Amino acid sequence: MNEVYQQIGEEGLNALVCAFYKRVKEDDLLSPMYPSDDWESAQGRLADFLIYRCGGSQKYIEERGHPRLRMRHMPFHIGTAERDRWLKLMRESMEETKVEPPASKLLAEFFAQTADFMRNASE
């Protein structure tokens, strides 16, 4: 994932997350998972996580510790529909922000694995 950071950097990852949350705010399936007064914090956490995961700043780890993504998302119903919608919105965000290969391929693979891992509801 260091290749992603080298290619698009912190600025590109922030732009991607911004485009993503713009979509999430309007999404009927995903937006109810977020407190309406916590958009900025949620956006910051995802940006910090991706920057950390792609080899940038350690801010996420310093402020939040181990990601424990599955545990942190357990209070939310995440099934196939939620996973697929999350991936769709992220794919659209990568297109909007013009994330090109190889970063787009690496991110898409990472997002697919992570989103599937986050599922906690059987269909």
Does residue 123 belong to any structural domain of this protein? no
Does 45 score more than 80 pLDDT? yes
* CATH number, position 15: 1.10.490.10
pLDDT in tens, 93-108: 999 999 999 999 999 9
| Structural domains of the chain, count | 1
DSSP classification of residue 111 = H
* Residue 101, domain extent: 2-118
Whether the upstream peptide bond of residue 75 has omega within 30° of 0, thus cis, is: no
pLDDT (mean) for 7-28: 97
End-to-end CA distance of the chain: 31
